[in-house]
Amino acid sequence: MSTTAIDPGLNADLAADLAATALILARRFAAGATLWCVAPAWEPHAQHIAVEFVHPVIVGKRALPAVALTGHDPVGAARMSVRPGDIVIAVADAGDPEVRSIMRRAPAWGAVTVWIGHGPRPPAGAADRVLWFDDPDPRLPAAGGFVLTYHLLWELTHVCFEHPGLLTAPHGPAEVCVTCADEGRLAEVIAVCGDTATVRTATGIETATTTLVGPVTVDDLVILHAGAAIGTVGPPGRAPEPLAGNGIRR
């Protein structure tokens, strides 16, 4: 008689996170999303995830659009590829600078983010969904736990497809300014002309005044509100600074 060992890292919390993440992915795919996969230090994981989703091994399961972004500039590749409504999934430890940059910028691109990793965790809010092994063993990325995680993510995503009622996300009221009905939105600067910047947001390309925040440069992240940049977003790990009066944080 043979038994199958279950990776002890797949605990109840991670199982619940997998289920919640699969539902998000299913809803995005149902709306036409593409999945972009990055793993700068472990590129085979990005390629493996893309293959899992685009080439299903079970008869009757749909092929889902997924692409591995590899090469020397994953941030630039993601910036050029990701479109509003897409998904970015990364496999990396919490200190990977390229993945940290992608995760920070993805909301301005309109993408939902998933981060798979191990060891010390990334800061709260670093990604929309974090699927994490607390084990710091440097051999873990090659030990099968990551592979099992994204295999289960693929399978659970298809389980969601079997229940069409789950695929429509509920829409609650947005938190907006009571004065002008606009919210604080993350934007990435793509061009600058004097006190005006062209920025990319989750809804498209916009023009914003930058008088309130001072000089900005291409690739900077700003908070956009009512057509103006009202705050800048610094490097990961910097504590957010509140803006007086309107409840929006930098």
What is the tens place of the pLDDT at every residue in 65-74? 999 999 999 9
Instruction: Give the angle 65-43-23 at the CA atoms, nearest 5°.
Output: 40
Residue 243 pLDDT greater than 50, yes or no = no
**pLDDT averaged over the chain?**
86
Q: Beginning with the edge strand found earlier in the chain, give each strand of the sheet holding 112-118 in spatial order.
A: 66-68, 35-38, 87-91, 112-118, 129-133
Instruction: Tell me what percent of the residues of the chain surpass a pLDDT of 90.
Output: 68
**Does the reported pTM lie above 0.75?**
yes
Look-up: residue for tokens 């692409």?
Answer: 67
Average pLDDT over residues 175-204: 82
Q: What is the pLDDT of residue 170?
A: 67
Q: Please, which residues have CB within 8 angstroms of residue 18's CB and are 6 or more apart in sequence?
A: 131, 149, 152, 153, 156
| Torsion from C-alpha of 171, 177, 178, 180, nearest 10 degrees | -110
Q: What is the pLDDT of residue 171?
A: 57
The pLDDT tens digits of the residues spanning 132-182 come to 998 888 888 888 889 999 999 999 999 999 988 888 866 554 455 544 556
3-class SS string, 215-248: CCCCCCEEEEECCEEEEEECCCCCCCCECCCCCC
Instruction: Tell me what percent of the residues of the chain surpass a pLDDT of 70.
Output: 84
Q: Please, which residues have CB within 8 angstroms of residue 42's CB and are 6 or more apart in sequence?
A: 91, 92, 141, 146
Encoded tokens for 17: 């996170």
Q: What is the pLDDT of residue 181?
A: 52
**Residue 109 — very low, low, confident or very high, per pLDDT cuts 50/70/90?**
very high
Helix (H) or strand (E) holding 191: strand 185-193
Residue 20 pLDDT greater than 90, yes or no = yes
Residue 123 pLDDT greater than 70, yes or no = yes
The pLDDT tens digits of the residues spanning 23-38 come to 999 999 999 999 999 9
Q: What is the pLDDT of residue 206?
A: 94
Exposed e or buried b for every residue in 129-153, given b needs 16+ CB within 10 A? Answer: bbbbbeeeeeebbeeebbbebbebb
Average pLDDT over residues 76-85: 96
Contact 10, 148 (CB under 8 A): yes
For 12-166, the fitting CATH number among 3.40.50.20, 3.40.50.10490, 3.40.390.10, 3.30.360.10 is 3.40.50.10490
Biggest alpha carbon distance in the chain? 74
Q: Where exactly does CATH 2.30.30.140 map onto the chain? A: 175-250
Q: Please, which residues have CB within 8 angstroms of residue 14's CB and are 6 or more apart in sequence?
A: 131, 132, 133, 149
Q: What is the pLDDT of residue 177?
A: 54
Contact 91, 47 (CB under 8 A): no
Residue 209 pLDDT greater than 80, yes or no = yes
Give the range among 7-11, 165-169, 189-193 with minimum mean pLDDT.
7-11
Distance, CA of 86 to CA of 100 (rounded, Å): 18
Q: Where exactly does CATH 3.40.50.10490 map onto the chain? A: 12-166
CATH architecture for the domain at 175-250:
Roll (2.30)
The β-bridge partners of 204 are: 201
Cα 144 vs. chain centroid, distance in angstroms? 23
Q: Please, which residues have CB within 8 angstroms of residue 130's CB and are 6 or more apart in sequence?
A: 17, 114, 115, 117, 121, 122
Average pLDDT over residues 5-9: 50
